[in-house]
């Protein structure tokens, strides 16, 4: 079962206190900042204009009644009323455009701020890595990109809609109550029934919206996987298997969509019936009053229009539930990631006693270190004590899957589960080269200086690095330092590893940890690469299987099954190596 297929067992699909608390937690950081006054000012302006529009609506309703009465009585004042009504309508449209602009600005500002805020938390203290490692949070990229606008839109829109609807209902209901108190009470009862029906109707849609969001995210992940592994899949001719997987994901999306369509039809029928009942109310309550001569003809139109506005106000209020329902998956998905950020921050603070501890020092020292996998499934290393003095190049070897890369992860502080203490020099004096070469989509200069910012003054040093690696023509062959390509695809695996070595030479750390960093290089290039590191006084701690690596590493840590280990010194063998004369590291070997 892939990460994005994990069951959502503990998720709440209810519109309950937890949901509103999460909505508040997501919104508060933006609205409670010191600079939030601008957002509050715009929000106040939007709310006041929503209230003003409702009052204008009541005024127009009175004008409609006056114009109808003037028309029935054939009075010339009718024309003046119509001109005035047109003018008021135009002003209202203009004001609406202005408020829409402010509303859009506020939405964009909040969205930008919230995305930045979450991104900072995501990048802080390598949280992105912890989240991938943990696997509970599916598609964090999609959560950060797509869920934020939905949450912001709801929080900005709902108060305006609610206020404007309540005002509209109050204004129009006061008109109705003057004409027919019976009609007024019928509207109140209708409102209650309508809200209950809405709650009953919309509860299942919460789960449906959630399922759709997850199914769409899975579809997207499947397509991304195909794109990222295009070459490997093409070599395997794995199209059929991939297509099968993607079709299944598409079927899942379609299934949820179909459920939603059928349910939507049911909801629409119920809503239409409710609307029909509402439209009959004026006929029952106002027309008899007109027949008995108690109200003017214009009142029928006025109360009809008022009832329609009350209905639309009520539908906004009762739509509060569906609006919240459709936002719920976004709120839950964003809250989950935010809660994960907080949880990771909290556990970092309390981890010290139960996890591998790190301290700063001159050299690399491991003291009685136990390493386990993050979930505690395997104990990979037990009670390891190791000292790597400067120049004491060390090779970590052992069977496939025994835990060599994991030991490097623990040293780098990526994995913390276990015991013991690790001393490391300051991180600026260290470099870790992972098993998979990392290439970014940029020019070759930035590639080589990653993660430092690129500066053109470095050009001569970069060329010098490749001379030391025995590849003086590398830069020219690749089109020069300014050339931009998809280096992951263009460079061979061995060349990508050469780039990693050039990065080391340019950064000049005191210690470098290499995880099978020469596995794709030929033996001669590997020899040159290690020689260059030795000449630069960089101490290597390498993981690898190749016999040839032995000659560069006088100290060998052999990881064995069940967390056992053996430390041996190979000074003599190294001295006998054919390359020994040319590899000056041996002079400093222990
Ligand atoms: N995130 C993880 N969660 C749980 N187990 C993991 C995780 N990553 C690796 N493992 C397991 O830990 C064990 C050690 O993995 P590791 O990558 O350290 O092996 P290795 O010795 O470097 O292997 P190789 O020589 O093939 O690179 C393996 O059994 C692997 O399945």
Structure tokens at 432: 């870790």
Tell me how far apart the alpha carbons of residues 320 and 535 are, in angstroms, rounded to a whole number: 70
User: How far is the first Cα of the chain from the last one, in angstroms, to the nearest whole number?
Assistant: 48
What distance in angstroms lies between residue 381's CA and the mean position of ligand 1's atoms? 12
Closest ligand 1 atom to Cα of 402 = 21
Label each residue of 39-56 as H, E or C: HHHHHHHHHHHHHHHHHH
What distance in angstroms lies between residue 245's CA and the mean position of ligand 1's atoms? 26
> Residues 84, 28: contact at Cβ < 8 Å?
no
Determine whether the shortest distance from the Cβ of 410 to ligand 1 is under 6 A: no
More confident residue, 228 or 352: 228
365 burial type by CB count under 10 A (0-12 exposed, 13-18 middle, 19+ buried): middle
Label each residue of 196-219 as H, E or C: HHHHHHHHHHHHHHHHHHHHHHHH
What are the chain's domains?
A: 19-349 (1.20.1560.10), 357-588 (3.40.50.300)
**For residue 508, what pLDDT band results from cuts at 50, 70 and 90?**
very high
Quick one: what percent of the chain has pLDDT higher than 70? 90
Determine whether the shortest distance from the Cβ of 404 to ligand 1 is under 6 A: yes
pLDDT tens sequence across 313-345: 776 766 676 677 778 888 888 898 888 888 887
What distance in angstroms lies between residue 500's CA and the mean position of ligand 1's atoms? 22
Our mutation pick for probing the ligand 1 site, out of 376, 403, 517, counting the most ligand atoms within 8 A of Cβ, is: 403
Tell me how far apart the alpha carbons of residues 499 and 501 are, in angstroms, rounded to a whole number: 5
Q: Whose CA is nearest to atom 30 of ligand 1?
A: 401
Q: Whose CA is nearest to atom 24 of ligand 1?
A: 400
Non-local (6+) Cβ contacts of 578 within 8 A are 551
pLDDT of residue 580: 42
Q: How many CB atoms lie within 10 A of CB 496?
A: 18
Our mutation pick for probing the ligand 1 site, out of 129, 402, 433, 545, counting the most ligand atoms within 8 A of Cβ, is: 402
More confident residue, 511 or 575: 511
What distance in angstroms lies between residue 565's CA and the mean position of ligand 1's atoms? 16
Non-local (6+) Cβ contacts of 522 within 8 A are 494
Determine whether the shortest distance from the Cβ of 581 to ligand 1 is under 6 A: no
Sign of CA dihedral 263, 265, 271, 273: negative
Tell me, rounded to whole angstroms, the distance of Cα 182 from its chain centroid: 53
pLDDT tens sequence across 70-97: 888 888 899 999 999 999 999 989 999 9
Determine whether the shortest distance from the Cβ of 434 to ligand 1 is under 6 A: no
More confident residue, 184 or 404: 404
Q: Taking 80 as the threshold, does the pLDDT of residue 2 lie above it? A: no
Closest ligand 1 atom to Cα of 403 = 18
Q: How many CB atoms lie within 10 A of CB 167?
A: 19
Select from 146, 111, 134, 203 the least CA-distant residue to 333: 146
Determine whether the shortest distance from the Cβ of 374 to ligand 1 is under 6 A: yes
Residue 493 φ then ψ, to 5°:
-60, -40
> Residues 318, 195: contact at Cβ < 8 Å?
yes
Determine whether the shortest distance from the Cβ of 406 to ligand 1 is under 6 A: yes
Structure tokens at 6: 């994990």
**For residue 457, what pLDDT band results from cuts at 50, 70 and 90?**
low
Beta bridge partners of 386: 366
**For residue 188, what pLDDT band results from cuts at 50, 70 and 90?**
confident
What distance in angstroms lies between residue 288's CA and the mean position of ligand 1's atoms? 83
pLDDT of residue 351: 53
Closest ligand 1 atom to Cα of 400 = 25
pLDDT of residue 512: 95
Determine whether the shortest distance from the Cβ of 400 to ligand 1 is under 6 A: yes
271 sits in the region (left: phi over 0; alpha: psi -120 to 50; else beta) called alpha
Q: Whose CA is nearest to atom 10 of ligand 1?
A: 373
pLDDT tens sequence across 191-222: 778 778 877 877 788 788 878 888 988 898 88
> Residues 346, 334: contact at Cβ < 8 Å?
no
CA dihedral 348, 353, 356, 358 (to 10 degrees): 70
Lowest average pLDDT, out of 3-17, 65-79, 85-99, 385-399, goes to 3-17
Asked if omega into 451 is within 30° of 0 (cis), the reply is yes
pLDDT of residue 455: 67
Q: Which range among 55-64, 99-108, 276-285 has the greatest average pLDDT?
A: 99-108
Q: Whose CA is nearest to atom 19 of ligand 1?
A: 401
More confident residue, 199 or 420: 420
pLDDT of residue 319: 66
Sign of CA dihedral 96, 98, 104, 107: negative
Mean of pLDDT values over 106-129: 91
pLDDT of residue 9: 44
Say what the ipTM of the complex is.
0.96
**For residue 8, what pLDDT band results from cuts at 50, 70 and 90?**
very low
Compute the residue count for the chain. Answer: 590
Model-wide pTM > 0.80: no
The mean pLDDT of the chain is 84
What distance in angstroms lies between residue 400's CA and the mean position of ligand 1's atoms? 8
Determine whether the shortest distance from the Cβ of 402 to ligand 1 is under 6 A: yes
Select from 194, 421, 463, 404 the least CA-distant residue to 317: 194
Q: Whose CA is nearest to atom 17 of ligand 1?
A: 405
406-439 CB burial, b ≥16 within 10 A, e <16: bbbbbbbebbbbbbbebbbbeeebbbbbbeebeb
What distance in angstroms lies between residue 2's CA and the mean position of ligand 1's atoms? 17
What distance in angstroms lies between residue 368's CA and the mean position of ligand 1's atoms? 21
What distance in angstroms lies between residue 124's CA and the mean position of ligand 1's atoms? 25
CA dihedral 112, 116, 118, 123 (to 10 degrees): 160
Q: Taking 90 as the threshold, does the pLDDT of residue 426 lie above it? A: yes
pLDDT of residue 572: 47
pLDDT tens sequence across 40-71: 999 999 999 988 888 888 788 788 888 888 88
């Amino acid at each position: 079962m892939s990460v994005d297929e994990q069951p959502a067992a503990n998720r709440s699909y209810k519109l309950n206190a937890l949901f509103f608390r999460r909505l508040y937690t997501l919104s508060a950081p933006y609205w409670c900042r010191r600079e939030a006054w601008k957002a509050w000012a715009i929000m106040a302006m939007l709310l006041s204009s929503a209230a003003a529009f409702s009052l204008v609506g009541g005024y127009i309703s009175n004008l409609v009644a006056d114009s109808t009465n003037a028309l029935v009585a054939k009075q010339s004042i009718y024309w003046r009323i119509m001109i005035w009504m047109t003018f008021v309508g135009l002003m209202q449209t203009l004001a609406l455009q202005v408020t829409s602009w402010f509303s859009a600005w506020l939405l964009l500002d909040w969205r930008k701020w919230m995305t930045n805020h979450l991104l900072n938390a995501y990048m802080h203290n390598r949280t992105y890595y912890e989240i991938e490692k943990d696997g509970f949070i599916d598609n964090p990229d999609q959560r950060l990109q797509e869920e934020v606008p939905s949450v912001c839109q709801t929080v900005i829109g709902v108060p305006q809609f609610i206020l404007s609807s309540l005002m509209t209902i109050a204004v129009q209901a006061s008109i109705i109550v003057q004409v027919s108190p019976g009609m007024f009470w019928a509207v109140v009862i209708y409102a209650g029934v309508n809200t209950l029906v809405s709650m009953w109707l919309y509860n299942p849609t919460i789960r449906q919206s959630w399922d759709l969001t997850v199914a769409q995210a899975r579809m997207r992940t499947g397509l991304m996987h195909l794109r990222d592994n295009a070459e490997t899949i093409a070599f395997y001719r794995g199209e059929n298997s991939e297509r099968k997987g993607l079709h299944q994901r598409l079927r899942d999306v379609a299934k949820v969509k179909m459920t939603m369509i059928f349910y939507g039809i049911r909801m629409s029928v119920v809503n239409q019936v409710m609307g029909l009942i509402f439209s009959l109310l004026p006929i029952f309550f106002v027309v008899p009053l007109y027949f008995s001569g108690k109200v003017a003809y214009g009142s029928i139109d006025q109360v009809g229009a008022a009832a329609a506005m009350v209905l639309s106000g009520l539908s906004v209020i009762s739509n509060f539930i569906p609006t919240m329902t459709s936002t719920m998956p976004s709120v839950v998905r964003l809250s989950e990631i935010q809660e994960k950020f907080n949880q990771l921050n909290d556990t970092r603070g309390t981890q010290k006693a139960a996890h591998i501890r790190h301290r700063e020092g001159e050299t690399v020292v491991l003291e009685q270190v136990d390493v386990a996998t993050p979930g505690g499934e395997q104990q990979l290393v037990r009670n390891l004590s190791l000292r790597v003095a400067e120049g004491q190049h060390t090779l970590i070897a052992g069977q496939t899957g025994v835990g060599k890369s994991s030991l490097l992860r623990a040293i780098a502080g990526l994995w913390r589960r276990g015991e013991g203490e690790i001393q490391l020099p300051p991180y600026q004096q260290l470099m870790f080269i992972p098993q998979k070469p990392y290439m970014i989509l940029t020019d070759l200069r930035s590639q080589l200086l990653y993660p430092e910012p690129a500066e053109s003054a470095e050009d001569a040093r970069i060329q010098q690095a490749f001379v030391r690696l025995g590849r003086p023509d590398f830069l020219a062959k690749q089109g020069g330092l300014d050339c931009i390509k998809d280096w992951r695809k263009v460079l061979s695996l061995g060349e990508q590893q050469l780039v990693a070595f050039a990065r080391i030479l340019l950064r000049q750390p005191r210690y470098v940890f290499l995880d099978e960093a020469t596995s794709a290089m030929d033996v001669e290039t590997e020899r040159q690469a290690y020689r260059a590191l030795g000449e630069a006084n960089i101490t290597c701690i390498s993981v690898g299987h190749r016999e040839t690596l032995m000659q560069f590493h006088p100290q060998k840590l052999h990881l064995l099954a069940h967390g056992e280990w053996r430390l041996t010194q190979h000074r003599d063998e190294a001295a006998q190596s054919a390359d020994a004369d040319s590899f000056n590291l041996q002079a400093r070997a222990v």
